[in-house]
Amino acid sequence: DLDNMQYVLSDLSTGETSTIQPGFSKKITFTAEDISTKRNYILHIFKTPEINSSPVSCNENPDGIISVAFGDTSKWEAKLRVPSGSVAIAHVDGKNRTARFGGLEKGIYYLEIWKGNVKIYENITSVGHPAKLKPKFSISADTISAGKKLYAENLSGTEGRWYWEFGDNSASSQFDPSHTYTTPGVYKLTLTTSSEAGCTSSVSK
């Protein structure tokens, strides 16, 4: 499957690399100085690395993660570079063919894959922050008779998960639930929303 492969040509004399696209020709031009110089090239063929970025957590801690999965068993090295120039290095786990960078703040990162002293792959990836949850709901009435249904309308949006607690040891995960209180009293109705990133937020009436 050519779409999942990378073809990178390395010039061992200059250290320059260029990506080769299947189906297109690559022209290499030699100068007068090259006539008496031996030029060596290596064509690296490898499966495109899979990059996954996990966002920093809900409390803004620098705990974002970038992981890289490889389809090659060679001893590669992954480098993570930020625009300021600092570099973090992770050696590829030969058994699982993965590299992992943790403790990251949200931002833009340059991921480089090195094979020896040759950089054969580079990609720009980002670590973001989960969207802030804004739980909100309305109720049909703030005073009802025991045995009558109370209706709640979820105004938080359609993304995420919802969990309702009615204050009488009953709960619901419906989007717009209804509930019947059998015993007179004052109850606190709480809506808790959660995201796929694990963030939660609650609001009560």
pLDDT at 112 > cutoff 80 = yes
Tokens of 85: 């120039």
Q: Is residue 38 over pLDDT 80?
A: no
- Portion of the chain with pLDDT greater than 90, in percent: 33
Task: Report the alpha-carbon angle 65-68-71, nearest 5.
Answer: 165
Strand spans (E) along 64-199: 64-69, 77-81, 87-91, 98-104, 107-115, 118-127, 137-139, 149-154, 161-165, 171-172, 178-180, 190-194
Q: How far apart are CA 89 and CA 131, in angstroms?
A: 29
In the chain, what is the greatest distance between 2 CA atoms, to the nearest angstrom? 98
Please provide residue 56's backbone torsions phi and psi, each rounded to the nearest 5 degrees.
-65, 155
- pLDDT at 139 (0 to 100): 95
